[in-house]
Structure 1
Amino acid sequence: MDWGRAKNVLIYAFLLLNLVLGYQLWSDLREQADSNPDLTSLESNIQKIMESKRIKVLAQIPSDTPQLRKISYRFVDGQQSHKLVHLPTPVDSKLIFTPKELANALRSSLPDIGDYRYDEFAGSESVFVMHPLVDGKWPLFKINLELHYSNQKIVSYRQDIIEINESADEKEQQVLSAPKALGNLIENFLPEGAVVTSIELGYYGQVFDSDADLPASPAWRFLLESGEEYYVQGISGDVISPNTKESKE
């Protein structure tokens, strides 16, 4: 055996292994850095309050502040719109993770399903939840399309059928930034040890048994690891906590 050649092969093999391990470590560190939210958008005093109250923010803090207007909506067919409807042919529930295929599979039963977005933080062990979209982009929270599944098949659904109206009298206004909304929550509303897991901009719609038009305003939704949720209205800055059914300024 040529020991000199074998030694060189081993050296090259170890060098290659070190390069692979080094690249993997760099990738892991980069992925970890990308997954950590940037808290520099929060004011320094808010960061200090976070530390004193042991509050953690695991979600990315959005930087966009689009101009949106208030809208109104009304329920169609009253309570009949929320009845449970069984699908004639169950649909494989794994399609929920591929929205285009899901829409195609359920379009015959739900022609408007393409106007909804899946909410990964809502629902339960047997129910997927989707929300209607305003302008094809912003979810209307609290208004739901529930997809019920059993044995990995979507077998039925329950839908809040609504009509969305946009008044020409309502002017577009720039929404409150997510850092400011979050800062208000951290300082005045979030309990000690709270962990924020999701921050998303949409519309907050309240559910009433009414045939009249109901108002909905742009709002930031903040979800906590505990399951609690807070909404900060993007125009007025009012804080709504459905957990306590209170609205506070």
Structure 2
Amino acid sequence: MDWSKAKTILIIAFIVTNIVLGYALFNSQRIDEPTLKEDFITDVAKLLKEKDITLNTAIPKEIPSLGIMTVEYEQRTPGDLNKSFFNNTAEGVTVNEGVVLFEKGKEKLIVTDGKNILYLNDDEEEKYPSLDKEEAIYISKKFLEEKGFSKDDMKLTFQKESNGVFFLEYSKVYNGIYIEKSYTNFQIDKRGVKRFERLWLNEEKLSENKIYISTAPKAILTLLTMENIYGKTIDDISLCYYFDPVKHKEVDEPEKTKQGKAVPAWRIQFSDGNEVILDEY
């Protein structure tokens, strides 16, 4: 007997058996999970409708799990930002503890704790007379490149035009999964970027051990208690890593937090751009 060949066959057989058992176990979990059954999901949709909450997306039907992620706020020094925004030609003034203001002409840059960035431009010159959505997105991406921000870890999750002003919101993503709460927001009109806000998170480490959380149909029942979202439309329901700085506060000052643990949660995106994170259920 060719033992080498026989062992190869046995190994392959074990692998196939494990795959089949794993598949069977996964499907049995799905079947046994009552909150993933069609009747339950239908009832959830009806309850939401009673509160005038419209579903414009499918409710995920998975048994959700993610690892715990260590995240850290993106930090840039005022000097670095002065160079990126003004080529080191703006004067910086310390307005308050941790707050630095740069001004040049009609432009302002406010940096708080090295992580909250607010840029304002009151220039009245129209540079983009035929501005549309596509051009506004292009302007935002060009602005990010010029100021030294990467576009590789973000996704445009909301866009709206109102009275000639385009509102764009980008969210942080890691391997296709959102990391909340962080944001990069723009207000752009025919004059260009009028307002830019950024508070960004960077992933540092991801635990291999996964945490299972409530299914989406069960989790979103929490929305029934939130009167402020009655009448809204849900556009997206996604798993995310959620970092709450209040839970990692330093001496009762959550704004001073630099890093912490992001846990699995459900991210609910509404058609008006607002979001709700469901992480306690």
Q: TM-score, normalised by structure 1?
A: 0.57
The structure with more strand, counted as a fraction of residues: 2
Q: Does the C-alpha gap of structure 1 residues 198 and 121 become closer, same or farther in structure 2, counting only changes over 3 Å?
A: farther
SS of the aligned residue for 1:143 comes to strand
Among residues 180, 190, 208, which one is paired with 1:151 in the alignment? Answer: 190
Residues 93 and 149 in structure 1, CA contact (< 8 A), matched pair in contact too: no
* 44-53 vs 104-113, greater mean Cα deviation: 44-53
Alpha carbons 2:44, 2:217 under 8 Å: kept: no
Question: Over residues 23-81 of structure 1, what are the superposed CA-to-partner deviations in whole Å (9 max), with x where a residue is unaligned?
Answer: xxxxxxxxxxxxxxxx9464454355446555432333233455411212222246233
1:128 aligns with 2:168: yes
Deviation at 1:165, TM superposition (A): 1.8
Given residue 80 of structure 1, which amino acid in structure 2 is its aligned partner? Answer: G
* Of 232, 235, 238, the match for 2:278: 232
TM-score (norm 2): 0.51
The correspondence for 1:94, drawn from 133, 141, 146, is 133
* Structure 1: stretches of 5+ with no match in the other structure: 1-38, 239-248
Taking every aligned residue pair, what percent have the same amino acid on both sides?
Answer: 14
What is the alpha-carbon distance in structure 2 between the residues aligned to residue 190 and residue 57 of structure 1? 16
Q: Distance in 2 between matches of 1:69 and 1:96?
A: 38
Equivalent pair of 1:144/1:159 in contact (CA under 8 Å): yes
Match of 2:204 among 144, 155, 165: 165
Match of 1:119 in 2: 157
* Residue in structure 2 matching 1:210, options 253, 256, 260: 256
Contact between 1:41 and 1:179, CA under 8 Å: does it hold in 2?
Answer: no
- From the superposition, tell whether residues 98 and 193 of structure 1 become closer, same or farther in structure 2 (CA, over 3 Å): closer
1:83 to 91, 110, 117: 117
The equivalent position to 2:70 in structure 1, one of 69, 72, 76, is: 72
Aligned residues: 190
Asked whether the 8 Å contact 2:57–2:234 carries over to 1, the reply is: yes
DSSP 3-state at the match of 2:217:
helix
* C-alpha separation in 1, matches of 2:237 and 2:47: 22
In the alignment, does 2:218 pair up with 1:180?
A: yes
